[in-house]
Copies of this chain bind each other. A is one copy, B any other.
Amino acid sequence: MLGLSVMRRLLISGGMRGLRLQQLLSEETLRHLQTSPHNTRHISTVSLWPFSSQPRDFSQPNSSWSPEMHKVYDNYNALCDTDIENGEEKRGPWRKLPSYNRSIKYATGGIHLSKLIQAKARLFTRNVKEQGATFEYVVFVNKEEKRCVCVFQAGRLLEGAPGHVHGGAIATMIDTVTGTLAGFLSGPVMTANLNIDYRNPMPLGSVVLIHSALDRIEGRKTYITCKVTSTDESKLYTESTALFVSISVGHLFGSRN
């Protein structure tokens, strides 16, 4: 219901069960969460974290990735490179986002908070330890163009009809990617609507692109469009729209605002 970037913004915007999490965030992390185009990559470096243990970033290449997954990842990763021109850093418009197995781990010290608050809970898309068995994905965001692209490899445990990916698994990735973009652009939001047209069944093992773009922002409402295609974009799997509504953290814990 809430993407990872959404949670990142959510955690700095208010308290949770009386605990004001933004007080736990380092200055560097806060800058990242405010989506400055120059610090997004820093979030995954060890230097940000005041504790010895660092949350594992699940969006790193691993041995379960197919050659196609590696190739598309490498293509987008290259767009994130930093060049030095006239002694100044010059970055491309793309950023790779890290991915943890709980939203709460985006806060500084979140790995420790995670042990205190519902310690056994795990993010739905990162809840199976075996690499490649369920969701393998990486989100790249382009702030200037207000869009993002997710590279997604669908594992064998996501079956619906024999040999094919469950519609709910595809909906899960659409919610995740559109929610990430909405949170990146609008701060703390909650999914209010998902409207998904399924065009073609997706075989297990497929590597696909999930393209997500801002349609418009109207007051508290952020409208996002999303298409899932083959990596060469010749085949369309789904077309969808998503609506997110800006919220306070209190909304999650009982308040209506």
Contacts and interface: CB of A to CB of B under 8 A. Distances in A.
A248 to B, nearest CB: 13
Contact of A161 (B10, B133, B134, B167): B10
Interface string A149-190: 000000011111111111111111111100100000000001
A204 interface: yes
A82 interface: no
A190 B194 contact: no
A2 B190 CA distance: 27
B134 A127 contact: yes
B127 A157 contact: yes
A102 interface: yes
A166 B156 contact: no
A124 B158 contact: yes
Contacts of A176: 168
A251 interface: yes
A interface, over-half SS: mixed
A99 to B, nearest CB: 14
Interface string A128-139: 100001100000
Nearest to A166: B124
B121 A1 contact: no
B163 A121 contact: yes
B1 A167 contact: yes
A197 interface: yes
Q: Nearest 10 pairs between A and B by C-beta?
A: A168-B172, A1-B167, A124-B166, A171-B171, A127-B157, A2-B161, A1-B160, A121-B159, A167-B175, A168-B175
30 contacts: A1-B160, A1-B164, A2-B160, A7-B162, A16-B162, A102-B159, A102-B162, A103-B161, A117-B163, A120-B156, A121-B156, A121-B163, A122-B159, A124-B166, A124-B169, A127-B157, A127-B158, A127-B159, A162-B252, A166-B172, A167-B172, A167-B194, A168-B168, A168-B172, A168-B173, A190-B198, A193-B196, A193-B197, A194-B196, A194-B198
